Amino acid sequence: MKTKLSLLFNVAVLFLGMNSFAQNKKFHVYLCIGQSNMEGHAKFDPQDTIVNKRFQVLEAVDCDNLKRKKGQWYTAVPPLSRCTTGLTPADYFGREMIANLPEDVKVGVINVAVGGCKIELFDKDNYESYVSTSPDWLKSMVTQYDGNPYARLVEMAKIAQKDGVIKGILLHQGESNTNDTLWTKKVKVVYDNLLKDLNLKAESTPLLAGEVVNADQGGICASMNKIIATLPETIPNSHVISSSGCPDVADNLHFSAEGYRILGKRYAAKMLEIMKSSKK
């Protein structure tokens, strides 16, 4: 009996050792969630398609047009959300990160975002009632994630954890929840669920939340930024990314390509600051 237990123990140790060896701690992974501005609304230019292989995207849906398969890593050439989306803050977040990290560090993103959605879509316990009353155009996007974007995000994140380490969460959402004073609490529900489902610790998993189009650009949802600003009161390890001066397009709802580039770099600047302070 003792011999069998000893054998089982040795096998378990070996298995755990193999798993830890397979996970590359120098492969930093970030989860990206939100609505259209995280999904990517602006058309990307040729300059946006030149990407260092150290910046990767884990495809969250099958994209025959891009020759990409769900659950596999690719160089992060846009689109990074679904098969026909546009430029997002994640594009220049990743570029800026690898430009400022050691050359042996890779950065990966998983982008699960749905244009026009409320934060309720990512509440794993209540999303069904929200989707059931949503317009058909939103339902069609949700269908691409088998009806449950949150579950798809977790599924992809668990795949990513076999290869690298989740370092943070990027959020850009709020336009559809404008003036919703409960938004911060709803975001906390999503954040807490992700921590639990992916076995992450709050102190080492910052949440970076971007402002919607700023009032200085005529943003029609700019009043939401006052609520976004209070997020750190509800989630201590959250950080607000300013959209001040980020150009938008004619609808005053979405950023332009240049706006996404600037905003993405600001997400990265904050993350790099967090990483630097954590080493002190």
Catalytic residue ranges:
36, 251, 254
Contact 56, 156 (CB under 8 A): no
State the Cα–Cα distance between residues 43 and 222, nearest whole angstrom.
23
Q: Is 191 exposed, middle or buried (0-12, 13-18, 19+ CB in 10 A)?
A: buried
Contact 165, 25 (CB under 8 A): yes
**CB contact set of 66 (below 8 Å; sequence gap of 6+):** 59, 79, 83
How are beta strands 106-113 and 55-58 bridged, if at all? parallel
CA-CA-CA-CA torsion for 165, 168, 173, 174, nearest 10 degrees? 150
Instruction: Give the residue from 101, 99, 77, 97 showing the smallest Cα distance to 88.
Output: 77
Structure tokens at 270: 């904050």
- Signed CA dihedral, 190, 157, 132, 227: sign only: positive
* Chain mean position to CA 36: 13
Instruction: Give the residue from 54, 55, 45 showing the smallest Cα distance to 87.
Output: 45
Residues forming beta bridges with residue 248, ordered by sequence position? 255
